[in-house]
């Protein structure tokens, strides 16, 4: 009886994942994705203005699988940027796009500095386009 119960519980734990193909799919044997997580400190009171600039500039970047601009809940003058790309090369190429260059010029006066910066290798997950 105990073995049947364990089997049933294990099966029930997997059922909610059935619709999440990106979670269940094996990692593809191809060039690794590129991820970047970074903190931007804005000049006082300019977080929302910088967020708007960054969000506008990132509408169409080839190779970008995810670009998230998030407010730091503990710092009114900080943003966290979480990026996932199909490759490091696509990320590097994005810095040459006209819209990105314009955003950098417009946003630079609003940036007080940069905090932590982490490079990652995304493996996949729910919501990650193209994974």
CATH code, domain carrying 59: 3.30.70.100
For residue 42, tell me if it sits in a domain: yes
Q: How confident is the model at residue 4 (pLDDT cuts 50, 70, 90)?
A: low
User: Is 8 part of a structural domain of the chain?
Assistant: no
Domain span at residue 80 reads 32-120
Specify the pLDDT at position 14: 39
Confidence of residue 57 (pLDDT cuts 50, 70, 90): confident
- pTM for the whole thing? 0.73
- Is the separation of the CB atoms in 51 and 69 below 8 Å? yes
Give the separation between CA 103 and CA 98, rounded to whole angstroms: 9
39 domain-assigned: yes
* pLDDT > 70: percent of the chain: 76
- With cut-offs at 50, 70 and 90, classify the pLDDT of residue 46: very high
């Amino acid at each position: 009886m105990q073995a049947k119960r364990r089997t049933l519980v294990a099966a029930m734990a997997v059922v909610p994942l059935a619709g999440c193909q990106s979670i269940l799919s094996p990692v593809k044997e191809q060039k690794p994705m590129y991820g970047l997580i970074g903190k931007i400190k804005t000049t006082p009171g300019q977080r929302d203005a910088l967020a708007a600039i960054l969000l506008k500039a990132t509408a169409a970047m080839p190779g970008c699988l995810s670009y998230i601009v998030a407010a730091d809940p503990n710092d009114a003058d900080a943003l966290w940027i979480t990026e996932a790309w199909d490759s490091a090369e696509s990320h590097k190429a994005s810095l040459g796009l006209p819209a990105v260059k314009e955003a950098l010029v417009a946003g630079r006066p609003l940036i007080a500095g940069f905090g932590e910066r982490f490079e990652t290798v995304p493996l996949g997950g729910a919501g990650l386009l193209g994974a």
